[in-house]
Structure 1
Amino acid sequence: MNKEQIIEQLKDIIKPYVQDQSALDSLTEKTDFITDLKINSANLVDVILDIEEKYSIVIDNDSMERMVNVEAAMNIIETKLAEKS
């Protein structure tokens, strides 16, 4: 799975939690979940749970704390998927 595919899948996952559609449309690896997308911390937990479900992975607390932007989420997803295979 390449980075573009993961970004598209992340967009689908976070879409229900984003108020500003234009921010979602311009999502890049550097997009911050809280600052740029205005996802509150409670919804960020929901995003993480949705990511775990989508990819059948478990995201530990250390990884959760690092998951503040799209790039970090992608790196964590790729790492967890690699550990599974």
Structure 2
Amino acid sequence: MTTEAIYAKLLPIIQGYLPEDVDPKEVQPDSDLTRELNINSAHLVDIVLDVEDTFDVAFANEDMENLRTMNDAIAIIHKKIN
């Protein structure tokens, strides 16, 4: 799966957990999920669960520690499925 295909499937997942005060158009590949997009840690766990279901992968604790931006998520997913 290409990076673009992963991004296309990941974007709606991330956008579904944005707080009301964050415009979905603000989501960029290098956006920090917690600091810039204001996604709280509980929703970050929900995002990971959705990603695991969508891409049929499993995130390890190390993956969670390295998950800061959409690019990080894309890299983790890409590594696991390719």
Whether TM-score is above 0.5 comes out as yes
Measure the CA separation in 2 of the matches of 1:15 and 1:70: 11
The TM-score with structure 1 as length reference comes to 0.85
Q: Among the aligned pairs, what percent are the same residue?
A: 33
The aligned amino acid for 1:73 is A
More helix by share: 1
Deviates more, 1:49-58 or 1:6-15: 6-15
Query: Which ranges of structure 2 fall in alignment gaps of 5 or more residues?
Result: none
Name the structure, 1 or 2, with higher relative contact order (CA <8 Å, separation 6+).
2
The TM-score with structure 2 as length reference comes to 0.88
| Aligned residues: CA RMSD | 1.3
Report whether the alignment pairs 1:71 with 2:71.
Answer: yes
Greater than 4 Å deviation, 4+ residue runs: none
Q: State the match for 1:31 in structure 2.
A: 31
Report whether the alignment pairs 1:62 with 2:67.
Answer: no
Q: State the match for 2:12 in structure 1.
A: 12
Q: State the match for 1:46 in structure 2.
A: 46
Measure the CA separation in 1 of the matches of 2:33 and 2:25: 13
1:2 Cα deviation after fit: 2.3
Deviates more, 1:10-19 or 1:57-66: 10-19
Measure the CA separation in 1 of the matches of 2:51 and 2:29: 16
Measure the CA separation in 1 of the matches of 2:2 and 2:22: 24
Query: Which ranges of structure 1 fall in alignment gaps of 5 or more residues?
Result: none
